[in-house]
Amino acid sequence: MESLLSLPLEITHQILTELTGPDPEPRNISSEDQTGSSNNDRLSLGLSSMAKLSRTCRQLHAAIEPRLYRSVHIPQAGVPQLLSLLKSWSSLPHRVEYTQRLFIKAKQHSNDIYREAIADQDIIFVSTLVEELGLQLRSDWHEFAWRVDVLTELVMFAARNAQWMDISFIPKRGIYRGSFDWLSDPNTDIGRIRFDNLRHLRLFQQGRLTMDEIQPVINRSSGLQSLYLDTIHFTGHHNRLPASLTALYLSRCSISPSIFRSLTTDLNKLRDLEYDISGRPRQMVLMMQAISEHKRTLKSLLMYFHLDSELEVDMPLYALDNLESLTTDLQSFGLGGGSRLMALLPASLRELRVVPFISGHPRRQLELFAAELRAREELMCTELIVQIDGQDSKFDYHRVLNSFAE
């Protein structure tokens, strides 16, 4: 113990990092599941070890406590877990100051949610907290399933130093309040609720959140850099994203080209864009035209076209003359086909990742794709790094063409 205490603080922190593993990179905010079960087990074991160490002496407590409470990870959030967190922060306010990463995934089964009763003293505690924040909440809030979301939002409001939030609410079914509705109340003084330290945000709710509901959160996130919206419904042209945004991930979000254009009108630093819903060819062309307005800064794009290689479509990918990385579907390629997708790739492209979307790799399709790559390389005199989704090694079109020629 004495040797550990005698080490410089930086080295002590490195040792503590080994207990829980490094924090995930911000880009992981677009992953479906932030941590695997093995990582979760290691995190829990490491935090438990750190908690025991922090109780051994005052010096270790001072060194460990900030890291111990830096990340909040609740993968099956319900009323008891969220109340416990809020009470901990209320009794020891310095702990919430340490919180930089917030991962909350609410339980998705309504039966589990309804079985979790809230004691009278806890109702009073929440009411007092709401009043301290200058908010208003209907008196019967604890009788509905969405009480879990009320508590989740209060956690978000309290975690004012959080730089990274990944939030999944309970499914929106039946009688339901609008998410973050208290931030839209014109009669409520909510000036103290801000997310000025927030850099990375992911929001999801089965049954669809609307952009109108989350716009108040966006408006209070002046330094937001990456935003992941999962199954968000866009209703009009009045919503705006902050100029600070550099990465935008739209997963299962149906958005028209005109709404996308107005939504991103203030963005002048957008580098990474993911849009994983495909539509009719004409609609996809219009969407690409809207995206091309960010051609000066856009470096990475994920977009699935699902084009018919027999139909002629002029997909204006070539307009993205600074694009370096593209992820798209394998089916849209086809030598001599109408899509001409390979010929439309910008000269700046360095990496191409293709997703088959079907089991196996049809022989003819791979052969045509390999032939297209060879033709492009001969024309451009540059090599394109290609990765087939699900394969560890780089795609070698020479080997593919040779094997088919045998």
pLDDT of residue 104: 96
CB neighbours (10 Å) of residue 345?
22
pLDDT of residue 281: 83
Q: How would you write the pLDDT of the chain (406 residues) with one tens digit per residue?
A: 445 555 565 666 665 555 555 554 443 444 444 444 444 554 454 455 555 555 555 555 555 677 778 889 999 999 999 999 999 999 989 889 999 999 999 988 766 666 678 999 999 999 999 999 889 898 999 998 899 999 999 999 999 999 999 999 999 887 788 899 988 876 666 678 999 999 999 999 988 789 999 999 999 999 999 999 999 999 889 999 999 999 999 999 989 999 999 999 999 999 999 999 888 888 899 999 999 999 999 999 999 988 876 667 778 899 999 999 999 988 888 655 556 788 889 999 999 999 887 765 577 778 888 888 888 888 887 889 999 887 878 888 888 888 766 6
231: three-class secondary structure by DSSP: strand
8 Å CB contact between 50 and 67: yes
| Token pair of 110 as six digits | 């309504």
Q: Containing H/E element for 205?
A: strand 200-210
pTM of the model as a whole: 0.84
Cα angle 207, 150, 169 (rounded to 5 degrees) comes to 30
Under DSSP, the state recorded for 69 is T
Cα angle 59, 61, 66 (rounded to 5 degrees) comes to 120
